[in-house]
Amino acid sequence: MSRFLIAFSFVASLTSAAAADRIAPVQHFAQPPTAGASAEAAQLRIAPRPSRDVTRAQVRAKLASNRAANLARFRAYQRKGMFPSNTYTGEKLNVWRDEDGHFCAAATIIRMSGQTALVDRVAEQTNFIRLADVKQGALMDWILTSGFTQGEIAAIQEPMMPVTRNPIYVPEPGEPVNVEPDMRSVENQRLMKVYKQVERMLVKNQKASLELAVDRLMAHRELAAQLVYNG
């Protein structure tokens, strides 16, 4: 199997894993009333639990708060200046976590929001994921409740240029990582420039993007309710 086919299998594994994150609700079926039970009691047992509703204003307020927090995390990531190294290919590549344990900007923001287990699971199952391609599962839920649009979080997840002249797409366990200092320095400068451009875009488009984020989350009423009442 080629190294790139291996990468595709990683992406396929995430799709199934992300779907598994959604635990199907337990189905409760109506049962015949026991002897002596009233019709009213039987009705109470099978009555569906009313769903909690939310207003657009409530959802917007929560998303605005999350957007501000995630933007602050993005800025902190830039200040720290520790970026993952693309030692896997000679071309641009989305690297979720590198061999030294450095996470990309998007992964770091999600991790700092409290979703450590989710971020680690993605790294283990599909380390070269593109968030622009995510359609469902726990990652999609996070995007919908982040206050960012999917396009914005995809822009934050800037793919990495190679920082080695001898890439190894699937390194063996314990195999040393060969990072070229000159290439690493050039890539750091490029990423800082890109991140500043993305940050300016996030600030400039905040109002319109927030309304779009509200529109998309309102289409998922249960998730919106979870954000408002439990977020």
Alpha helices by DSSP H, listed for 38-149, are 39-46, 56-80, 105-112, 116-125, 138-145
pLDDT at residue 203, rounded to an integer: 98
Helix, strand, coil: what percent of the chain each, to 5? 60, 5, 40
Average pLDDT per block of 10 residues along the chain, 231 residues long? 42 42 39 42 40 88 98 98 96 97 98 98 98 97 98 98 94 86 98 98 98 98 95 74
pLDDT at residue 173, rounded to an integer: 82
pLDDT at residue 29, rounded to an integer: 35
Residue type, 107: A
**The two three-digit tokens of residue 15, written as one number:** 């799709």
Rg over CA atoms, the chain: 22
In 3D space, the residue among 24, 54, 61, 27 whose CA is nearest the CA of residue 221 turns out to be: 54
Quote the CA–CA distance of 56 and 45 in Å, as a whole number: 32
Distant-in-sequence, close-in-space partners of 231: CB < 8 Å, separation ≥ 6: 62, 66, 145
pLDDT at residue 175, rounded to an integer: 80
Quote the CA–CA distance of 164 and 90 in Å, as a whole number: 8
- How would you class 100 by CB atoms within 10 Å of its CB: exposed for 0-12, middle for 13-18, buried for 19 or more? exposed
pLDDT at residue 13, rounded to an integer: 42
Name residue, tokens 């099978």.
46
pLDDT at residue 91, rounded to an integer: 97
pLDDT at residue 171, rounded to an integer: 86
**The two three-digit tokens of residue 53, written as one number:** 């509703």
In 3D space, the residue among 210, 103, 216 whose CA is nearest the CA of residue 157 turns out to be: 103
Distant-in-sequence, close-in-space partners of 13: CB < 8 Å, separation ≥ 6: 125, 126
**What string of DSSP letters covers 188-228?**
HHHHHHHHHHHHHHHHHTHHHHHHHHHHHHHTSHHHHHHHH
pLDDT at residue 53, rounded to an integer: 87
